Amino acid sequence: MKDLVTAALAAAKERGQDVADVPLTAIAAAAGISRSTLLRRLGGSRAALDEAVRQAGIDPGGRPPVRERAMAAASRLVAERGLGGVTLDAVAERAECSLPSLHTVFEGRDGLLSAVFERYGPLPDLEALVADPPESLEDTVRVLCRTFVAAFDREPRIVPAVFADLFSRPDGPAARMVAATFPRLFDYLSRLLLPHIEAGRIRPLPFPVLVQLLLGPLINHVLLRPVLEPALGGGLPSLDDSIELFADAYLRAVALP
């Protein structure tokens, strides 16, 4: 059984998985035997192997998959250090997984950062909004504004870190992350706004311009707000009031009677 435990641990390390998550086929390959031979030596069940791993002082399972551990580790590192401070070595160390497993799951650093941005950015909320859209144009615009502001304020603060990197390094990882998510972002926004364009409620402007008019002023305000608040104090409207002001300004600019 000792050789099987060694093979199971080696296969788990190579795949970046817990022993309990490693298929028996992979353990058999690491042991140099067939799956049927492995099962015969285990008495027909892997329970004996898991117990032997426990007796060796190692928990055979119970941890989240590598993908979840890596994304949680990467998101914390982004919030602490910014995008530039996130390396696969640091993520592997904090997530307690191997570098090869990160490359296998995410196909490199850009893939990992893009997955983090997709999870903590506005895309999940936009997807839910598309599934149950507001009926009126006014409600749609207000909900969209609140959705993007919430993405900036969400912990860990991934979206502000992405924009900070985007402005400081236009050819850096943030630019590639945003470019990778833009098709889905525009698809969701078009599905929310195009029905109002087709119904004659919005001016038929180029769609990228409509999106910029909606998000540009709002994102600029959210990014500058931490600087403006200490300087202006009570002269700055609350965030909720600001959202309403920007939504009303957008509607006045693009809505048709």
Q: What percent of the chain has pLDDT above 70?
A: 97
136 phi, psi to nearest 5 deg = -90, 155
What is d(CA 53, CA 2) in angstroms, rounded to the nearest whole number? 9
- Say which residue, 137 or 168, is predicted with more confidence: 137
What is d(CA 108, CA 254) in angstroms, rounded to the nearest whole number? 42
- Say which residue, 3 or 196, is predicted with more confidence: 196
pTM tops 0.75: no
What is d(CA 112, CA 177) in angstroms, rounded to the nearest whole number? 10
- Say which residue, 10 or 218, is predicted with more confidence: 218
Q: pLDDT grade, residue 59 (50/70/90)?
A: low
Distances (CA, A) of 206 to 52, 70, 117, 139, 227: 65, 39, 27, 22, 33
How far apart, in Å, do the first and last CA atoms of the chain sit? Answer: 78
Q: Output the average pLDDT for the chain.
A: 88
Mean pLDDT value across residues 172-186: 88
Q: Say yes or no to pLDDT of 66 above 90.
A: no
Fill in the DSSP letter of residue 81.
Answer: H
For 118-160, the pLDDT digits (tens) are: 899 999 999 999 999 999 999 999 999 999 999 998 889 899 9
Whose tokens are 């009303």? That residue is: 248
Mean pLDDT value across residues 97-108: 84
Segment (H or E) for 90: helix 88-95
Fill in the DSSP letter of residue 256.
Answer: -
